[in-house]
Structure 1
Amino acid sequence: MEIWEELPGVSLVPVNSKAPQEKMSAHDGCLSLVKYLLFVFNLFFFVLGSLIFCFGVWILIDKTSFVSFVGLSFMPLQIWSKVLAVSGILTMGLALLGCVGALKEFRCLLGLYFGTLLLLFATQITLGILISTQRVQLKRKVKDVVQKTIQTYRAHLEETAAEESWDYVQFQLRCCGWESPQDWFHIPSMRSNESEGERVPCSCYNSSATNDSTIFDKISFPQFSRLGSLARPRHNAEVCSVPANSYIYQQGCERNLSNWLTNNLISIVGICLGVGLLELSFMTLSIFLCRNLDHVYDRLARYR
C-alpha cells in the first residue's frame, strides 16, 4: 500500500511505508531480547540467593553437624550463618526487582534496580581504593584487633566469638600468634600458677610434628570436637592449652596470612573484576530498557 503526500511546489509522490515498519520491528525485537536476557539473568540470581538463604538457615538449624565439620564453635558459626541468610535475602530482593521490572516493563522498578546496582558498584570501588591506599593503616588495625583478642583470651566467657574465630584461623593457617608464639606468653588465661611453664592455645599444636597421635587426641578443644584431659578449668569453663614446646607452630599468622593473600591474589582480583563486569552489564541492560520504553510508549500513543 502506498501513501501519497503533497509537497510544496511538487506533485504528489508515493512514500514507502515498509521501511519505518521494518525499523520499528527490529527495534522492538532488540528490546524484547534485552528484556528477556535481563529477566533470565536475574531469575538465576534469585535462585542463587534463595539457595544462599536456605544454606544459612540450614546452618542455624543443624549447628551441631557443621561444628564438627568446619571446626568453628557455635558462636562464630551462628554469626556466619546470619551473614549468609542476610546476603541471600538481599540477593533475592535485588534479583526480584530486575525480574519484575524487566518482565512487566515497569520503569520505576528498573530505575530502582539500576540505582541499587550503581550504589553497590560505587561502594565496591570505594572499598577497593581504600584498601589499596590504606594498606598500612589496615594492617595496623588488624594487628591491634588480634593482639587485643590474644591479651583478653577467655577473660570474658560471654564474649568468646572473637577468640574462637582466631583459634580457627590458627588451626587452618597452621600458625601461632600474630608475629610469633611469644604473643601468647604471659597471658593470664594460659597459666594457672607461676610455676607452670609457658603455654599456648591448643589451636597452635602441630600434630604433624610428632608421630605420637595420641597427644592430640587428649587435647580438649571444643572448637574442633576434641575432648580430653589437658584442659584446665577457669571460672567453670575449659580453656585448652598445651606447653609451648617444639610441637607447636613456630610461625606467626601475619606471614602466613600475607602468603595466602599473595598466592590467591589473582583469584581474588579475578572474582572482583568478574563481579564488577557483571554489575556493569546488568546496569547497562536495565538503563537501556528503561530509556527505550519511553519511545515505545510514545510511539504507541502516536499510532492510536
Structure 2
Amino acid sequence: MTTCEEPPVVSLVPTHSKDPQAKMSAQESCLSLIKYFLFVFNLFFFVLGGLIFCFGTWILIDKTSFVSFVGLSFVPLQTWSKVLAVSGVLTMAMALLGCVGALKELRCLLGLYFGMLLLLFATQITLGILISTQRIRLERKVQELVLQTIHSYRTDPDDTAAEESWDYAQFQLRCCGWHSPRDWMSARTLRGNESDEPFVPCSCYNSTATNDSSGFDKLFFSQISRLGPRAKLRQTADLCALPAKAHIYREGCAQSLRKWLHNNLISIVGICLGVGLLELGFMTLSIFLCRNLDHVYDRLARYR
C-alpha cells in the first residue's frame, strides 16, 4: 500500500527576527564609542595646545635667557613665540569645543566644532592651491623683498626686524645673499670706500670651514669685535661684518632653500596629508554624531 507524504511546508516568515530594541541598543553603543573617541582625542589636543601656549609665553617672558640658550636673534624669536602662543590658544579652543560637545552631546557645539574644522581645512586647501599656482610670482616677490632688505641693511637703527630675520635665515640655511654673496655689494652700510674690500654680515660666516662652531654665536649675537684674524666690526657696535674673502658661505639662499624643499618634500607632503586626513576624520565623526544623537534617542523612547 502506497502512502503519499506531504511536502514540507516552507515558511515565508523568518525564524530569527531582529529585535528593534537590540538594534537601537547597538546604534547607541556605536554612538557612545564615537563620542568617547572624540572626547579622548580632543582632550589630548587640548593638553597639546596648552603646552604650545605655555612654551610660546615662556619665550616671550624669558627671551633673554632663551636667546643665550639657542642662539637666536630677538626679532625671529619674538615672532615665533607669538605664533606659538596664538596657535596654542586656537588649538585649545577647538579641542574644548570638541570635548564638551561630544561629552555633553550638545549639537550646537558639535556643529561649531565641525564648522571651525571645515574652515581650517578649506584655508589649508586654498593656501596649497595658491602656492602651487602662484609659485613663480611668489618666488619673485620674496626675491624683491630680500634684495630690498640687503640694499637697506642697517640703515635705520630703529627698524631692524627684517635684517635680523634675514640674518637668522642665512645662519640656518648656511647661505649668503639671495643669489650669491655678491648681492651684499649693494648694501650701503657695508660698501665703505672704493679702495676697501667688500664686506658681508657675520651671519654669512662659515664656522665649519675653520672648525669654530661657537665663533658665530660669540660674534653675531654677543657683538664681539673679532672672528678669526680678518673679521672686524663696521661703523657701530650693532653692525657686525667681515670681509667677503673670509670663510663665508659661497652659496646663495635661493639655491639652499630649493635644496631644503627638495630634501624635505616627502616629509612636508606626508605631514600635510596626515593633518588633512585627521581633520577629515574628526569632521566626519562630529557631523555623524551631531546628526544621529536625537534620532537614536527618539527611537529608543518609542520602544521603552
- Structure 2: distance between partners of 1:289 and 1:258: 44
Alignment of 1:82 onto 2:96: no
- Structure 1: distance between partners of 2:95 and 2:249: 46
SS at match of 2:242: strand
Q: Give structure 2 stretches of 5+ with no counterpart.
A: 1-15, 227-231
Deviates more, 1:196-205 or 1:60-69: 60-69
The one-letter amino acid of 2:29's match is: G
The one-letter amino acid of 1:221's match is: F
How big is the alpha-carbon RMSD for the aligned residues of Structure 1 and Structure 2?
2.4
Higher RCO by CA contacts (8 Å cutoff, separation 6 or greater): 2
The question of whether the paired residues in 1 share the 8 Å contact of 2:36 and 2:102 is answered with: yes
Q: Give structure 1 stretches of 5+ with no counterpart.
A: 1-15
- Structure 1: distance between partners of 2:127 and 2:107: 30
Residue 12 of structure 2 corresponds to which residue in structure 1?
Answer: none
Cα pair distance change 1:62/1:218, threshold 3 Å? closer
Alignment of 1:101 onto 2:95: no
- Structure 2: distance between partners of 1:202 and 1:53: 33
Aligned equivalent of 1:228, options 206, 225, 229: 225
Deviates more, 1:291-300 or 1:170-179: 291-300
> Where do residues 1-304 of structure 1 align in structure 2 (5 Å cutoff)?
19-210=19-210, 213=212, 216=215, 220-222=219-221, 225-229=222-226, 230-234=232-236, 237-299=237-299, 302=302
SS at match of 1:249: coil
The question of whether the paired residues in 2 share the 8 Å contact of 1:180 and 1:250 is answered with: yes
- Shift of residue 189, structure 1, vs aligned partner: 1.2
- Shift of residue 195, structure 1, vs aligned partner: 3.4
- Structure 2: distance between partners of 1:197 and 1:240: 15
- Shift of residue 138, structure 1, vs aligned partner: 1.1
The question of whether the paired residues in 2 share the 8 Å contact of 1:43 and 1:99 is answered with: yes
TM normalised by structure 1 equals 0.87
TM normalised by structure 2 equals 0.87
Identical-pair percentage: 72
- Shift of residue 194, structure 1, vs aligned partner: 4.0
- Shift of residue 186, structure 1, vs aligned partner: 3.4
The one-letter amino acid of 1:228's match is: S
The question of whether the paired residues in 1 share the 8 Å contact of 2:50 and 2:89 is answered with: yes
The question of whether the paired residues in 1 share the 8 Å contact of 2:207 and 2:216 is answered with: no
